[in-house]
Amino acid sequence: MKDKPDYTLFAIIMILLIVGIIMVFSSSYVWAEYKYSDTFYFLKRQLLFAGAGIVAMFFTMMTPYNTWGKYAKVILLFCFFLLLIVLIPGIGMTRGGAQSWIGVGAFSIQPSEFMKLGMIMFLSAYLAAKQKYITSFKKGFFPSLMLVFTAFGLIMLQPDLGTGMVLVLTSMLIIFVAGARISHFIGLAIFGLIGFALLILSAPYRISRITAFLNPWEDPLGDGFQIIQSLYAIGPGGLMGVGLGESLQKYFYLPEPQTDFIFAILGEELGFIGGSFVIGLFALLFWRGIKIALEAPDLFGRFLALGIVSMLTIQVMINVSVVIGLIPVTGITLPFLSYGGSSLTLTLCSVGILLNISRYTKV
């Protein structure tokens, strides 16, 4: 074990965090003044979340990563418990049509965020110990599959399709890298497409999101409103942007721009150069994370590092794709940048584990 973590990765994380705090304030102060009569409302809370997240990051960075393998089963059971109680009326809090939070007033946690990390920990430990069975459908692939889709089902009861997608895609990638047969994934893909189609058809609002994505101007004041306003933000940004703090779309055009669509405000204010800079930082994070995963000293460390970096990368790809109109709206936050306590704290906690794994590599 080397004494120091990957300082390049640490620097990337801190730059993204600082950019996020700046953009949360820039995108939210108009809405904060209107709703709470406090221009700094969201900034102060994001600083609080960032402080808690940094403490969590340093804790996980100093904790030997193998510790999480020992307690992975307990952590996963706790995450399942949280997913169950959030569905109980009177306990789970509803925001934006999803009963996804537990807490009191504005201070709450989102159990599905905990489940993403909990599932990565458990699958990494389980597949590292049972890798020789992963080529067997009954002994390795199917048990892993059932666990993932049980969690996905509970998340969809909230409902939260975006988080569920990240959970499933990340888990499938870990299982694939562990050595599962391609034939098993082909069968899964067929059933998955059928199930996804039924999932879309079962909820009218999901169908409307699909149609709005295909032609948002067909319903510009309804389902197409958010994506149209996002494009109106990115378009005027041009190469250099209109200037930090000078966005027009945050003046009640783009709903709550400090959350899922913060990249649209960033693109408007900082332009193509600013957006490319942020995407470049995420690309560097992915590169350093993959190097750490490849050089981890054991299977658990490799799967755990791969799972964490994959989760973040998938989330970035989905969020940015939604903002620029490539895929339908899914409700996914942009790691490090979007406003939100559970998302930011768990993201920093996750990269802390990645930094700890880097202490055992030559990266």
Per-residue pLDDT of 166-222, as tens digits, reads 999 999 999 988 887 787 777 777 877 777 677 666 666 666 666 666 667 676 666
Q: Specify which residues 94 forms β-bridges with.
A: 99
What pLDDT score was predicted for residue 319? 93
Q: In what order do the strands lie in the sheet with 98-104?
A: 92-95, 98-104, 107-109
- pLDDT of 280 over the 90 cut: yes
Q: Specify which residues 95 forms β-bridges with.
A: 98
What pLDDT score was predicted for residue 204? 62
Give the strand pairing for 92-95 and 98-104: antiparallel
Torsion of CA 15, 18, 23, 24, to 10 degrees: 140
Lowest-pLDDT choice from 99-113, 268-282, 338-352: 99-113
Three-state DSSP class for 89? strand
User: Residue 345 and residue 215: Cα distance in Å, rounded?
Assistant: 36
What pLDDT score was predicted for residue 64? 94
What pLDDT score was predicted for residue 326? 80
Q: Provide CB contacts within 8 A for 239, sequence distance 6+.
A: 271, 272, 273
CA atoms within 13 A of residue 363's CA, in its CB half-sphere: 27
Three-state DSSP class for 104? strand
Instruction: Read off the pLDDT of each residue in 235-246 and give the average, rounded to a whole number.
Output: 87
What pLDDT score was predicted for residue 264? 92
Share of the chain above pLDDT 70, in %: 90
Share of the chain above pLDDT 90, in %: 51
Three-state DSSP class for 140? helix
Q: Phi-psi region for residue 319, left (φ > 0), alpha (ψ -120 to 50) or beta?
A: alpha
Q: Supply 196's token pair.
A: 């996804």
- pLDDT of 1 over the 60 cut: no
What pLDDT score was predicted for residue 139? 76
Residue pair 339/258 in contact (Cβ under 8 Å)? The answer is yes
- What φ, ψ does residue 180 adopt, rounded to 5°? -65, 150
What pLDDT score was predicted for residue 226? 80
- pLDDT of 135 over the 70 cut: yes
Instruction: Read off the pLDDT of each residue in 99-116 and give the average, rounded to a whole number.
Output: 79
> Per-residue confidence at 273, pLDDT binned at 50, 70, 90?
very high
Domain parsing of the chain, residue ranges: 7-358
> Per-residue confidence at 227, pLDDT binned at 50, 70, 90?
confident
Which is nearest to 330 in space by CA: 189, 121, 146, 167? 167
78 versus 361: the higher-pLDDT residue is 78
User: Across the chain, what does the average pLDDT equal?
Assistant: 87
- pLDDT of 225 over the 80 cut: no
What pLDDT score was predicted for residue 191? 75
- pLDDT of 61 over the 60 cut: yes
User: Residue 228 and residue 205: Cα distance in Å, rounded?
Assistant: 17
Residue carrying structure tokens 């993932």: 148
User: Residue 249 and residue 255: Cα distance in Å, rounded?
Assistant: 9
CB atoms inside a 10 Å sphere around CB 230 = 27
Which helix (H) or strand (E) segment holds residue 108: the answer is: strand 107-109
Lowest-pLDDT choice from 73-77, 99-103, 115-119, 159-163: 99-103
User: Residue 106 and residue 45: Cα distance in Å, rounded?
Assistant: 10
pLDDT in tens, 285-301: 999 999 999 999 999 99
- pLDDT of 4 over the 80 cut: yes
102 versus 79: the higher-pLDDT residue is 79
What pLDDT score was predicted for residue 120? 96
Q: Specify which residues 99 forms β-bridges with.
A: 94
Instruction: Read off the pLDDT of each residue in 306-326 and give the average, rounded to a whole number.
Output: 93
**Cα Rg of the chain, angstroms:** 20
